[in-house]
Amino acid sequence: MGPHPAVAAIRLAVRRVLHDVLTEFHRRADHDRPADAARRPAHAARSRTRYAEAGAAGRTALPDRPDTPLVLVACSGGADSMALASALAFEARKLSVRAGGITVDHNLQSGSGLRAAEVVTRLTAMDLDPVEAVAVHVGREGGPEAAARDARYAALDAAAERHGAAAVLLGHTRDDQAETVLLGLARGSGIRSLSGMAAASGPAGRYRRPFLQLDRQAVRKACLVQSLPVWDDPHNIDPAYTRSRLRHEGLPALEKALGKGVVEALARTAQLSRDDADALDTWAAEAELSVRDETGRLECAKLYVLPPAVRRRVLRRALIEAGAPAGSLFARHLEEVDRLITGWRGQRAINLPGRVEAMRQGGRLVIRQS
């Protein structure tokens, strides 16, 4: 008898990501290989054959090279990340992948250090290596949820660099994706916010989210049938947090009013929005080359004829290049700069985050740090 359907689903999702990581790892290794290594194709072929045979036999592959890719799982001890850790441990044993785990202690609750130590013990029992807990200090900028997220990703980035990890797996589910889309919609931040979380993000696609097509209930069921102990973060039910209110009040209200399938529809909206946003970003990158003069300055007349969605992306890219922090640029900033193009009435320079200013001079848009 095979594994429970929920367990099979999470393992398949992780297996697909690991195959992607391996493919990219070997592609980079082949690209970086010294010229003399190119004269050893037979050895490379034998190596790849041994990897495949070991995987097919269901046993741990023994790599010929010490740089076998390391994949880390970010694990809080909750159901999503524990299910992810168990699937990684299972699948890594069948592939030429090293698997490790990181848990981040945000120091926001009493006993958080003990919780982190328990997670380390559980991950170690799964034969993950390396495994470590990282304590962080959570600031206040952007609110408690944003500050905790920033501190967590900074710690994960540092851990990935420290261990030389090829990827870090995150346990976000389809339900998390739906919540992210709704939060973006509430902020009115545009189509990029509606695209939610990418399956791969971060430097060189470091962060991978295998569970974006799986719902939270299936992942929790996988933990139950495997008898995996899980920790339910009290912050996840605390109404002081926006995402918690959305999860326990907002989404249930939407499903009551609109019927089942809201989560799936929102996740589908995220993918469609991401495809559109990626296409517009590509268009803007190409258009930017055609709206600059010989000195590199943006020409207002050429900007004016671009579709608004493309023009504002060109402006955003230019503002960030001049030093404006991407996370501090909001729709109202872009609208003000856009009016220098579409509603020119002799306005003065516009002050923007990062001490960047934008002004119109002689038919050109000048963007610089003040």
How would you write the pLDDT of the chain (370 residues) with one tens digit per residue? 789 999 999 999 999 999 999 999 988 888 777 655 544 444 444 433 333 344 444 434 444 445 799 999 999 999 999 999 999 999 999 999 999 999 999 988 888 899 999 999 999 999 999 999 999 998 887 778 888 899 999 999 999 999 999 999 999 999 999 999 999 888 776 788 899 999 999 999 999 999 999 999 999 999 999 999 998 888 788 888 889 999 999 999 999 999 999 999 999 999 999 999 999 999 999 999 999 999 999 999 999 999 999 999 999 999 999 999 987 888 889 999 999 999 999 999 999 999 999 999 999 999 999 8
Q: Where are the alpha helices (DSSP H) in the chain?
A: 5-32, 41-56, 79-92, 112-125, 144-163, 174-187, 191-194, 216-225, 242-245, 251-258, 262-290, 300-304, 308-322, 331-342
> DSSP character for 100?
E
Burial per residue of 292-325, b for 16 or more beta-carbon CB atoms within 10 angstroms, e otherwise:
beeeebbebebbeebeeebbbbbbbebbeebebe
> DSSP character for 292?
B
What is the crossing angle of helices 216-225 and 79-92, to 10°? 60
49 within 8 A of 206, measured Cβ to Cβ: no
126 within 8 A of 86, measured Cβ to Cβ: yes
Task: Look at residue 36 in the predicted model and tell me its pLDDT.
Answer: 55
> DSSP character for 345?
S
Task: Look at residue 10 in the predicted model and tell me its pLDDT.
Answer: 98
* Three-state secondary structure call for residue 352: strand
213 phi and psi angles, rounded to 5 deg: -100, 5
359 within 8 A of 344, measured Cβ to Cβ: no
Q: How much is the pTM?
A: 0.82
